[in-house]
Structure formats: C-alpha cells, structure tokens
Amino acid sequence: MGSEWEDKSKPHRNIVFIGHVDHGKSTTVGRLLLDSGHIEAHVIEKNDKLAAEHGKAGFGLAYVMDGLKEERERGITIDVAHKEFFSPKYYWTIIDAPGHRDFVKNMITGASQADTAVLLCAANDGVNAQTKEHAFLARVLGVSELIVLINKMDISGVNWSQEKYEASKTEMTNLLKMAGFGSKLADIPMIPGASLIGDNVFKKSENMSWYNGPTLFEAIDAAAMPNKPLDKPLRLPIQDVYKIGGIGTVPVGKIETGVLHSGKTVVFNPSQKSAEVKSIEMHHTMVDKAEPGDNVGFNVRGLSATDIRRGDVAGYTDTAPTFVRHDETFVGQIQLMDIPKAVSVGYTPVFHAHTAQVAVRFIDLLEKTSKGQKEANPSFLKTGDAAMIRFQPTKPMAIEEMAVFPELSRFAIRDMGKTVAAGVCIKIEKK
C-alpha cells in the first residue's frame, strides 16, 4: 500500500461514512482507497472472485471494508473497520459506521469522534428513514464538516440525469435543514457520483459534464479543520484512575476543551474532590501542559484512587465542571433510533455521556416531532421520533449545556444492550 501523499506528520482527522444500509458506503470507501493508490487493484480482483462465489457479484470493493466472513456472506457491514488514507492536506482515519448501534456509542465516548462525515444517498432511492436518522445523528454527535454523495447516478432509471440529481439535492437540502444544518448549507458539497464504477469519487466523471463541483476526494481534502477550543475553560473527562507505586494517584483521560497546566489545582465533579496537578504525562513523556485532543495521565497530590472515578470531569476550581444532582433535572433534545416498544414517563435507560454511564429517568415528555409534525406533551414516544424531554439522573452526573460546551453535552441512550437514541443537553435546571 502506498500513496503519494503518505505522511503521518500531517494533521490527523477522523472521517465517517454514514447513510442507508444499501446506498453504497462500503463500496464508496473501497473505491476511494483503490483509486487514490491506497490499495492495489489485485486486492479488489481477489475480493471480486470471493464476492462472486458468494453470489454477491460486484461486491469486491465493499469487501475492502467488510473483512469478516459473516459480513461477506450476508453482504452487510458489522465490524467497525478502521482504515487509514492520506489526502494532500491530511492524514485520515476512516471510521466505518456499521448500521449505528455501536457507532453511536463510540462517537459519544469520543473513542472515534469524527469531525467529518460523508452522508450517502442513492439517487434512485432518495432519502429514507436511515438517511434521516444518520443526518440527525451527525448533527447530534457534533460532526462539523458534512459532505453529501448522491450515489448510484449510473443505474438504469437514473442514467446520469441532472434532473434526478437536482431532485435528490432538493430532498437532501430539506432533510439537512430539518436536522439543524441550515446555517451550513452553503458549505455542504452535494456530489453526484457512481462509486461502483468510480465516477466523481476520486476521478472526475465523464458522464456528467453538467456538474462542475469537486470530486468526493477533493471535497474531503477541502474540509475545514475543526477549531481547537483552547480558550474555553478546562474540561477533561476521566477514563480511568490508576494507583501507581512511588507516584500515587494518576487519572487518565482525553482533554475536550481548555489547557491542562501542571502546578494548577483541579476539581473533579461530580465527586467534588480537588487536588494540585503535580505532573502531566503524554506518550510516556513529561509535559508542562496539554491541549484539546491530547490523551494524558496526570498525577494529583493528596487524593486516593478511590476519591475519584471514571465519569468524573476535571476542570479548574474557578470554572468547575457542571453536574446534575440526583434531585435536579436537565432538558435534552433526543433522536430515537431503535426503541423496541413505545416509551413514556418513568422509562430509565442508561445514558452514556463522555466517559460517564448513569441511569437516567424520563420525567416529562415536553414535545415530540413525528414525521415532521410537532406535538406538545405527548403520552409516548416511538422509533424515529425526535423529542424534547426533561430528565433526572439516578445519581450525580457531569454534563454541560450544548450552547456552552457542545463537546460535553452529547449523550447516547442505551437499553437492552443497544443504542436506542442519541441526544444533547439543552438546559440544566439547578436547584
């Protein structure tokens, strides 16, 4: 494998491909990697043979991402496959989104916070339920750069038609407005393409002379770098706390906002314990300070490893991290994705917010939007609904308001071993 742009010192970014299950996500990724020189043609040929043997002729590209035997036989994506590629400006990790259960959880916990998303929509099929859900998810999960690929422009019934492209584009524009991307629409490229044969993925299409925008690869390379929130107060969700002989207590986590300085005093909430930062370590090197995106371990003076825990958020004492006590509430906006049955007041699933996991109760259903229709104080919610809800955690939980710290306002809701919804905290109601 090699590409002319390969250089790991370039700015590193995460990109995710989302959209309906049959709209060509894996094929698009395979095509992108093949045509940009990241994988050899013989790999695809070998995969094509395998695919044909499984009665899946034409799935050779998809097999680049779908490495598991079970996936190949079913022709769908299960595993989260991480593939790297380079564009002229950036070094990318592709996070493949298998449906969305674990993908949502990974995105929320920041294990794979994608800053850029490619949303696929097939020109012959248009926007459907999963396209909608994924557009909402991209918004809720804080994706800052969105690229739309209107795929399958080559298939019969579409035949490279500009009219069909414009119709899909209008449909996608309306969806993105609804999902909250309205203010960014002018910056969202909508590219007509055909991933299976490679039009407008890496190579410019010769079949759509009416389109003069970027290819998918060009649009990805042009995606603006997200801002590093350096000027915000420190927020550092704790992933683990270690007790290290001869050193003491060492919390570990990834900085979301602000700068961690050695010698300053931090407070951990909701544990409400504070201590001085004695030293900071990153990649086995001592550093004086660390910034957003950095994974750090830091030694705190005077705290035992049992005083603080995973799910605490560290910040400075004068701008302490916000938390909601078990007798307080917060209002959130959620998108329901996969609820086995209707839910109503009293439902108490587990919320995953940054590194915290807390059971949270639905206290008031304030409003729901179902198939575009708004309804105040609904009696229940079901799959596909978006809703505004008042929540009460069963124990203290660190969370922030979307308007102040979007990075710490997001949460995934899990129940019965799967992600049932994703949401964001809009307002915290302190006593």
pLDDT at res. 295: 86
- DSSP category for residue 194: B
In contact, 257 and 227? CB cutoff 8 Å: no
Question: Which residues 6+ apart lie within 8 Å of 238 measured at CB?
Answer: 251, 252, 253, 268, 308, 309, 310, 311, 312, 313, 314, 355
Buried b (16+ CB within 10 A) or exposed e, 12-28: ebbbbbbbbeebbbbbb
Q: Are 237 and 252 in contact (CB under 8 A)?
A: no
Beta-bridge partner residues of 121: 150
Predicted pLDDT of residue 80:
35
Give the SS3 label for residue 135: helix
Helix axes 129-140, 162-178, angle to 10 degrees: 50
C-alpha R_g of the chain: 23
Report the distance separating Cα 313 and Cα 268, nearest Å: 5
Q: Residue 60 corresponds to which tokens in the numbers above?
A: 């050779």
Give the DSSP H/E element, type plus range, for residue 70. helix 69-74
What is the pLDDT at residue 160? 97
Structure pTM? Answer: 0.77
pLDDT per position as a tens digit, 24-70 = 777 888 888 888 887 765 555 665 566 556 555 455 455 444 444 44
- Return the closest-CA partner of residue 122 out of 192, 215, 35: 192
For residue 177, count other CB atoms closer than 10 A to its CB: 12
Alpha helices in 156-199 (DSSP H): 162-178
Alpha helices in 233-281 (DSSP H): none
| Dihedral of alpha carbons 60, 65, 69, 70, sign | negative
Per-residue model confidence (pLDDT) at position 76:
42
Distances (CA, A) of 181 to 78, 100, 138, 165, 317: 28, 20, 10, 20, 35
DSSP state for residue 92 in the 8-state scheme: E
pLDDT (0 to 100) of residue 314: 98
Over residues 191-237, the pLDDT tens digits come to 999 998 999 999 999 999 999 999 999 999 999 988 889 999 999 99
Q: What is the amino acid identity at position 429?
A: E
Tokens 């900085």 — which residue?
Answer: 255
Would you state the pLDDT for residue 101?
59
Q: Which pLDDT value is given to residue 334?
A: 92
Q: Which helix (H) or strand (E) holds 53?
A: helix 41-53
3-state secondary structure of 131: helix
Structure tokens at 191: 């590219």
Closest C-alpha to 175, from 213, 206, 134: 134
Which candidate, 189, 120, 119, places its Cα nearest to that of 151?
A: 120
Mention every residue, 6+ apart, whose C-beta is less than 8 A from residue 350: 357, 358, 359, 360, 413, 414, 415
SS3 label, residue 418: strand
Nearest-10 crossing angle of helices 25-35, 41-53 = 150
Q: Are 384 and 372 in contact (CB under 8 A)?
A: no
* Per-residue pLDDT at 408: 93
Domains and CATH numbers, the chain: 12-222 (3.40.50.300), 236-319 (2.40.30.10), 323-429 (2.40.30.10)
Could you tell me if 309 and 238 are in contact, meaning their C-beta atoms sit under 8 angstroms apart? yes
- The H or E element containing residue 26 is helix 25-35
**Stretches in the chain below the pLDDT threshold 50:** 57, 60, 63-72, 74-81
For 297-317, letters b (16+ CB in 10 Å) and e give bbbbeebebebbbbbbbbbbe
| Residue given tokens 């804080």 in the structure block | 142
**Cα(94)–Cα(13) distance, integer angstroms:** 9
pLDDT of residue 207: 97
Q: Peptide bond preceding 270: is omega within 30 degrees of 0, i.e. cis?
A: yes
**Nearest alpha carbon to residue 58 among 80, 79, 35, 75:** 75
Spatial separation of the C-alpha atoms in residues 30 and 57, rounded to whole Å? 15
- State the DSSP H helix or E strand holding residue 277, giving kind and residue range, or none if neither: strand 273-282
Q: What is the pLDDT of residue 46?
A: 62
What residue type is 343 in one-letter code?
A: V
